[in-house]
Structure 1
Amino acid sequence: MIRHLVLFKLNEGVQRDDPRVMEGVRAFEALGDVIDELRSWECAWNISDRPIAYDFAINSAVDNKDALRSYLEHPAHQAGVALWREFATWVIADYEI
């Protein structure tokens, strides 16, 4: 199994209540119900106010590298990523569990 972690940082001046951000969050929240390859799916706002903290996180799992590739290439995932590109940057980590 592979764990897929993503941490998002909103761009300077972008707030959580920005309509673009709210649309992006809704798009990611829906992925757990539409992408069959996902074995687990969590996404939420970070509650830490530490200066080094990122703003939003995804924590998910898939069976293997082929499933990860399918998830990454899925049209619903690509649509969500396109939204987030407008207002955030991110880092990822994929590791076997």
Structure 2
Amino acid sequence: MIRHLVLFKLDEGVERDDPRVVAGVEAFERLRDTVPELRFWECAWNISDRPIAYDFAINSAVEDAEALQRYLDHPEHRAAAALWREFATWVIADYPF
């Protein structure tokens, strides 16, 4: 199994209730039911207010590297990521477990 973690930081001046952000969150929430490669999926807003904290997180798991690539290439994932490019930056970590 591979854990796929993504931490998102909203751009300066962008708030959680921005309609673009709301649409982005909804797009990621839908992935749970639309991408068959996902074995585990959760996404949520960070509750920490520390200055170094990111704003939103995805924690997911897939079977192997091939499944991860299929997830990354899935049209729904690509569409969701494209929304987030408009108002956020992110970092990722993929590791076996």
Matches within 5 A, 1:77-92: 77-92=77-92
Sequence identity percentage = 75
Map of 1:14 onto structure 2: 14
Matched pairs, number: 97
Matches within 5 A, 1:39-58: 39-58=39-58
Map of 2:71 onto structure 1: 71
- Aligned-residue CA RMSD (Å): 0.2
Gaps in structure 2 of 5+ consecutive residues: none
What TM-score results when the alignment is normalised by the length of structure 1? 1.00
What TM-score results when the alignment is normalised by the length of structure 2? 1.00
Specify the code of the residue in structure 1 equivalent to 2:95: Y
Map of 2:25 onto structure 1: 25
Q: Which runs of 4+ in 1 moved over 2 A?
A: none
SS of 2:60's equivalent? strand
What whole-Å deviation, never above 9, does each CA across 1:10-63 have from its counterpart, x for those lacking one?
A: 000000000000000000000010000000000000000000000000000000
Gaps in structure 1 of 5+ consecutive residues: none
Specify the code of the residue in structure 1 equivalent to 2:61: A
